[in-house]
């Protein structure tokens, strides 16, 4: 710990926030946690315990505190907007967990507030941009060795859903990651979204359309299919196969050692995102801390505009799900500030 450390305030001390509190305390250099804010004071205290940070029940106390240089937001997406606007007004860098906000109008308000402040302060926690396999796939697509990209086949599987998880959330809470990775991998915008589904799995809670198949069209003519299956039972799996004119590349197929034992062979399947993307979260946080110490954001991360574009795609996806129709994505003009 040094006087030069970035002093971080954390908002939201649930599953993700508690994990980020440990991450900052144990693994991120040149950063230290100084305050944790959560209306659930007990959770705030639990996440702060052993880190040297204080616990607050009012998140705005954390944002306004003079000893907080930068902010991590890990509260539910529905409450991100006022927290982001307060941090932008104070002029401190923010790493906001996905989604930026749950709808495009509120995301655009965040974009406009940041542009008006005239400084890049917000980055969105699309951690796949820091996953070594995704980074390699993006580099491979960039070399042109696979030829022009034609298709992406994606599978996004969670072992099970928490109570209250809805069919719409499968789009704006889960497929939001594929909307971001599609834009990032291909450097193209999303033009339209369609959603279909088979009969639901017997393991899905009553009323949940699980699995679903989301088809994404891009402005460059690439077609992306995403299987989103959030009660697959066996674990956490995120795969992506890129098909180009001259070859294919698959990531997320398997991890860890392939074990042969007792007349069987196999390996372990991660059980959740903390396991599968732990290294990506660490990298995302370390790079953010370095940038935030300079009062800035990491150019490798998703910015507020990326958060807005993903929110607009989610909106089209939720509408496509409700109407059964292919739905075009409506995007505002991208300000020069984000080019």
Would you tell me which residues interact with ligand NAD (CB under 6 A)?
11-17, 37-40, 43, 59, 74-77, 79, 97-98, 125, 127, 173, 273
Q: How many Cα neighbours within 13 Å face the side chain of 41?
A: 3
CB 249 within 8 A of CB 140: yes
User: Of all residues in this chain, which one has the CB nearest to ligand INS in the complex?
Assistant: 174
Q: Which of residues 259-278 bind ligand INS (CB under 6 A)?
A: 273
Applying CB under 6 A, what is the total number of residues that bind ligand INS?
Answer: 6
Single out the segment in contact with ligand INS by CB under 6 A; choices: 35-43, 171-179, 254-262, 307-315. Answer: 171-179
Q: Which of residues 101-160 bind ligand INS (CB under 6 A)?
A: 158
Q: What string marks each residue from 199 to 238 as x (binds ligand INS by CB under 6 A) or -?
A: -------------------------------x--------
Least gap, CB of 71 to ligand INS (angstroms): 19
- Residue 317 interacting partner from ligand NAD, ligand INS, none (CB closer than 5 to 8 Å by kind): none
Query: Where would I find the H helices in the chain?
Result: 15-27, 41-48, 59-64, 80-90, 104-117, 132-143, 167-169, 176-186, 273-276, 278-293, 304-323
- Residue 75 interacting partner from ligand NAD, ligand INS, none (CB closer than 5 to 8 Å by kind): ligand NAD
Picking from 34, 111, 99, the residue whose alpha carbon sits closest to that of residue 73 is 99
- Residue 174 interacting partner from ligand INS, ligand NAD, none (CB closer than 5 to 8 Å by kind): ligand INS
CB 55 within 8 A of CB 45: yes
167 binds ligand INS (CB under 6 A): no
Measured CA to CA in angstroms, residue 219 lies from 44, 183, 184, 224, 324 at distances of 44, 10, 13, 12, 21
CB 97 within 8 A of CB 74: yes
DSSP state of 120: -
**CB nearer to ligand NAD: pick between 74 and 222:** 74
CB atoms within 10 A of CB 57: 14
Least gap, CB of 207 to ligand NAD (angstroms): 21
CB 242 within 8 A of CB 231: no
Nearest-Å Rg of the Cα atoms of the chain is 20
- Residue 11 interacting partner from ligand NAD, ligand INS, none (CB closer than 5 to 8 Å by kind): ligand NAD
**CB nearer to ligand INS: pick between 273 and 285:** 273
**CB nearer to ligand INS: pick between 43 and 157:** 157
Instruction: State both tokens at 283.
Output: 């990298």
**CB nearer to ligand INS: pick between 31 and 154:** 154
């Amino acid at each position: 710990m040094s006087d030069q450390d970035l002093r971080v305030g954390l908002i939201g001390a649930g599953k993700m926030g508690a994990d980020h509190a440990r991450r900052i305390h144990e693994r991120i250099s040149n950063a230290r946690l100084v305050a944790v804010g959560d209306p659930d004071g007990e959770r705030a205290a639990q996440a702060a315990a052993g880190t040297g940070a204080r616990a607050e029940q009012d998140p705005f106390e954390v944002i306004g505190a003079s000893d907080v240089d930068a902010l991590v937001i890990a509260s539910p997406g529905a409450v991100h907007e006022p927290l982001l606007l307060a941090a932008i007004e104070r002029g401190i860098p923010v790493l906001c967990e996905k989604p930026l906000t749950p709808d495009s109008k509120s995301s655009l308000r965040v974009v406009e507030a940041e542009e008006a402040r005239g400084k890049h302060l917000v980055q969105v926690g699309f951690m796949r941009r820091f996953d070594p396999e995704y980074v390699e796939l993006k580099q491979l697509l960039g070399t042109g060795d696979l030829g022009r990209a034609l298709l992406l086949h994606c599978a996004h599987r969670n072992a099970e859903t928490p109570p209250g998880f809805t069919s719409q959330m499968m789009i704006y809470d889960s497929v939001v990651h594929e909307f971001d990775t599609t834009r990032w991998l291909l450097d193209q915008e999303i033009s339209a979204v369609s959603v279909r589904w088979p009969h639901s799995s017997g393991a899905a809670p009553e009323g949940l359309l699980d699995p679903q198949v989301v088809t994404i069209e891009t402005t460059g003519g690439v077609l992306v299919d995403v299987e989103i299956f959030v009660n697959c039972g066996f674990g956490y799996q995120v795969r992506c196969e890129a098909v180009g004119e001259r070859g294919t590349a698959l990531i997320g197929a398997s991890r860890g050692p392939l074990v042969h034992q007792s007349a069987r062979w196999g390996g372990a399947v991660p059980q959740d995102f903390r396991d599968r993307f732990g290294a990506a979260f660490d990298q995302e946080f370390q790079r953010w801390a370095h940038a935030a110490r300079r009062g800035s954001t990491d150019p490798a991360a998703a910015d507020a505009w990326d958060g807005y574009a993903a929110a607009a795609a989610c909106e089209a996806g939720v509408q496509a799900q409700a109407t059964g129709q292919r739905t075009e994505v409506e995007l505002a003009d991208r300000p020069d500030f984000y080019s």
